[in-house]
Amino acid sequence: MKRILMATAAAVAAIGCMAGASAKEMKMGLITPPPHIWTKEAQAFGDELKAATDGRHSVVVYPSRQLGNEAEVLQQMQSGAVDLSFMTVAEVSNRVPEFSALFTPFLVKDNAEAVKLLKTSPTAKELLELLPGKVGVVGIGYGMAGLRQIVSAVPIKSAADLKGRKIRVTPFPATRDLNTILGLAPTPMPLPDVYDALANGQVDAIEMDLELTVKLKYWELAKTVLISNQMMFPMVGIVSGRTWRDLSAEDRAIVTELMRKHLDVVLDKTEEIERTFLPEIKAKDSLQVLEVGQDFYGDAVAEWEKIWLPQAPAIPALRKEAAAL
For ligand BEZ, the binding residues (CB under 6 A) are 31-32, 88, 145, 170, 191, 208, 212
CB of 120 closer than 8 Å to CB of 193 = no
CB of 24 to ligand BEZ, least distance (A): 27
Edge-to-edge strand ranges of the sheet holding 24-29:
57-62, 24-29, 84-88, 233-240, 137-145
CB of 124 closer than 8 Å to CB of 142 = yes
Q: By C-beta, is 67 or 212 nearer to ligand BEZ?
A: 212
- Distant-in-sequence, close-in-space partners of 39: CB < 8 Å, separation ≥ 6: 30, 32, 33, 61, 63
Q: How many angstroms separate the CA atoms of 227 and 151, rounded?
A: 9
Closest CA to 41 of 56, 26, 18, 63: 63
Closest CA to 182 of 237, 105, 235, 244: 105
Cα torsion angle, 169, 135, 318, 311, sign: positive
Q: By C-beta, is 145 or 322 nearer to ligand BEZ?
A: 145
To the nearest 10 degrees (0 to 180), the angle between helices 249-269 and 111-120 is 160
CB of 210 to ligand BEZ, least distance (A): 11
Q: How many angstroms separate the CA atoms of 2 and 26, rounded?
A: 41
CB of 40 to ligand BEZ, least distance (A): 13
SS3 47: helix
Q: How does DSSP assign 189-221, residue by residue?
A: --GGGHHHHHHTTS-SEEEE-HHHHHHTTGGGG
CB of 199 to ligand BEZ, least distance (A): 16
CB of 318 to ligand BEZ, least distance (A): 21
Q: By C-beta, is 39 or 53 nearer to ligand BEZ?
A: 39
Q: By C-beta, is 26 or 212 nearer to ligand BEZ?
A: 212
Q: By C-beta, is 114 or 191 nearer to ligand BEZ?
A: 191
Q: By C-beta, is 235 or 255 nearer to ligand BEZ?
A: 235
CB of 177 to ligand BEZ, least distance (A): 17
Q: By C-beta, is 59 or 191 nearer to ligand BEZ?
A: 191
CB of 70 to ligand BEZ, least distance (A): 9
